[in-house]
Structure 1
Amino acid sequence: MSERAQAPADKFEDAHNEIVTTVEEMSEDRWKAMCAGEERTVGVVAHHVASSYASTFGIAQLAASGQPLPTVSWDMIHDMNAKHASENSTCTKAETLALMRGEGERVRSGIAELSDGQLDQKFVLPAFGPDEITVEFLINMLVIGHVGMHVPSIQAPAACVRSAPVPRPAAPSQWGSQRST
């Protein structure tokens, strides 16, 4: 555990608390509404975020320990997201909140337990391009960034529509170009 790891752990906790509060305060109509920029309902997007905690942090844990990473392409990610949406189209707020709370605490404490050496571990994740990135970058951009990427479409009433969804880009552009430090 390092003092440096506390900053991303706190950032994750803030993002996590924001999405939990948003879901807790959400009406059933809102839960079932389609979101602009998403091909899913608000509820399915919230469940997607909660169910992704384990996989996104799992990649960071593998990289931090120097273990081989799974080969994942954007096509595979989109297929997994579509499968998740299909299999969880009737998810409830209660089950989503339970998943968020359980996985959220596990991820927050896992981030806080990382050493400086683990945060500095460099690796290549092909979905992010050919350049090396650090575990700390991955945590900020994928683990924390994934929550932040979806919160606006879950939160903003103007983002929800009942018409056809807007297609998503091939890769999130807000991840930026900064790679390893």
Structure 2
Amino acid sequence: MGIPADQLGAQEHVVMELREHWKRLLVPGLICAAALVGLLVVLAVAPDSGAFSWLDTLGWIAFLGVLAVFGLWPYLRWRGRTYTITNERLLTRRGVVRRHGRDIPLSRINDVAFEQGMFDRMSGAGTLKVSAASEEGTVVLHDVPNIHEVTRTLNALTRDAGSA
């Protein structure tokens, strides 16, 4: 899913590969569903002939535009954002057309904290804040699924990296 094997070190292995929680796609999905309802209404009321026969074409164009902007693009952004934890580092990757990444060695991590709102608690997701000894400071990872397990794992790996 995330990191190709040729980007891992000799003794490095992937512990966890994550993507943002699927709840990130909930609002775009509802917008696309509303656009579908709107298209069905337009197709039902638009006349087959006459001066306004072009309304069904306009309805399809609007629907496809909403689908591209509020459906396809958020999905591609969601697919393109990954969080990978190896036994040596934390890797973040994001981007669809242009990729951005950050690698933090576990030995440089000072603090791991999380935040959860009410909906986050219901879905088991949360925001992970990783403080590293670097110029960049704290890295914030939004909508991390299974936040408690990820926090526990990252704390254990950081502790092991610090004692090595």
- Please, what TM-score do these two structures have when normalized by structure 2? 0.29
Q: Which has the higher contact order (CA 8 A, sep 6+)?
A: 1
- Please, what TM-score do these two structures have when normalized by structure 1? 0.27
* Structure having the larger proportion of residues in helix: 1
* Structure having the larger proportion of residues in strand: 2
